[in-house]
Amino acid sequence: MSERGDWAAMRERRMAEPGAAEAYEAARLAFELGAAVRELRESKGWSQTQLAKAARMTQSAVARFEAGGTVPTLPVLERLAAALEVDLHVSFTPRGTAA
């Protein structure tokens, strides 16, 4: 079996395990939030240290967040938004349905 086939089979087995889909979705969300904050920080020309100071966090916490290593609380997101001078919007949207 090819490497791709081996990986696909392993992924399929892992995703069938209880809680795997939820963990995968949480990791995706953490990664996307981190990427968005990194993009905003870089657009301001700031270092992680500058953002950390403005958001009352440590540089290592900013680095972990930007790497998708943590799912932040709402108060942390609010501090990051305030530091980056952006509005934070949290919403629920309907999921698409298969046609």
Residue 29 sits in a domain of what CATH number?
A: 1.10.260.40
Lookup: tokens for 79: 């501090």
The answer to whether position 13 is within a domain reads no
Domain of 47? 25-84
Report pLDDT digits (tens) over 15-71. 888 888 888 888 899 999 999 999 999 999 999 999 999 999 999 999 999 999 988
In 3D, which of 63, 56, 60, 58 has the Cα closest to residue 78? 56
Contact 77, 34 (CB under 8 A): no
Contacts of 54 (CB under 8 A, 6+ apart): 46, 83, 84
* The total number of structural domains that make up the chain: 1
The answer to whether position 32 is within a domain reads yes
In 3D, which of 31, 32, 52 has the Cα closest to residue 41? 52
Highest mean pLDDT among 9-13, 39-43, 90-94: 39-43
